Amino acid sequence: SGSFTLYASDVNSFNRLLNEFTIILAANGQQAEKIFVPRSIQRIKDTEIVAFVKRADLEIPDNRITEALTKVGLDVISVIRLTRKDGNAPTSTIKITFKDANNRNTFIHTGLQVDSMHFNAEAASQNKKPVQCYICLQYNHVAKYCKTKQQICAKCGDNHRIEQCTAANDAIKCNNCKGKHLATANDCPNFLEQEKRMLNLINQYSSTSSPTTTTPIIHDSNEFPSLPNMYQRQQGLLHNDILDELINLLT
């Protein structure tokens, strides 16, 4: 027993691994293990099944909305009326989570119809801002999962909180790119690189994004240069063949 990592070449291969891999193994008498998806991709997949209805009458109960959606054939996981920050007063905004993106997208086009009342629906927006740890100030993880647990000052880069920093303003130094700005600055080259990576991931793994011809920059481009466009189709077919062979080998 053990674990291994598979890198999908595109969203189709990713969805096949996610939806078919354990089913095929189980059908052939193999132990069906759980597939773990990177958090950055899981957030994208979770967001694209969520929609919001605003300015919905407070008198409409959640179960009434669930019934209305189920009646028209939509597969709903949950209907939650959002509350104010104090958690006590309900608002006129409804958060609806669907089984998949197809159900959500259908709802976005049709809206919510409860009796004679109609409400427009909005898709949940993908979060394009890179995740940055407030302890080490590195990207792609939060403080809860920080491995170093060593506090880095966003102003000077030393081992203390920024509130305790005594460095002069002209001594500001980003601990990530060594530039003369805060490590949390939105114009930091490292931030912009991570933001571009987030956009590429969203374009690649969100079924609601417009098609893109740009290969997501998940790995270092010097070590893994992009293939010429004329070979991309053949490469995609090759990856599908490899995936088929992998499944056959394991079954």
Q: Which residues of the chain have pLDDT under 50?
A: 210-226, 228-236
Domain membership of residue 170 (yes or no) is yes
Domain membership of residue 146 (yes or no) is yes
> How is residue 225 written in tokens?
């240069």
pLDDT digit string, tens, across residues 113-157: 999 999 999 999 999 899 999 999 999 999 999 998 899 999 999
Domain membership of residue 109 (yes or no) is no
Domain membership of residue 1 (yes or no) is no
Residue 149 structural domain:
133-183
Please state, in angstroms and rounded to a whole number, the distance separating the CA atoms of residues 212 and 206: 11
Query: Residue 230: its pLDDT value, please?
Result: 46
Which residues are CB-neighbours of 158 under 8 A, at least 6 positions away?
152, 165, 167
Query: Residue 15: its pLDDT value, please?
Result: 73
Domain membership of residue 141 (yes or no) is yes
Query: Residue 245: its pLDDT value, please?
Result: 63
Please state, in angstroms and rounded to a whole number, the distance separating the CA atoms of residues 144 and 165: 23
Q: How many domains does the chain have?
A: 1
Continuous segment of H or E residues that includes residue 118: strand 117-119
Domain membership of residue 168 (yes or no) is yes
Domain membership of residue 223 (yes or no) is no
Query: Residue 203: its pLDDT value, please?
Result: 87
Global pTM reads: 0.66
Domain membership of residue 55 (yes or no) is no
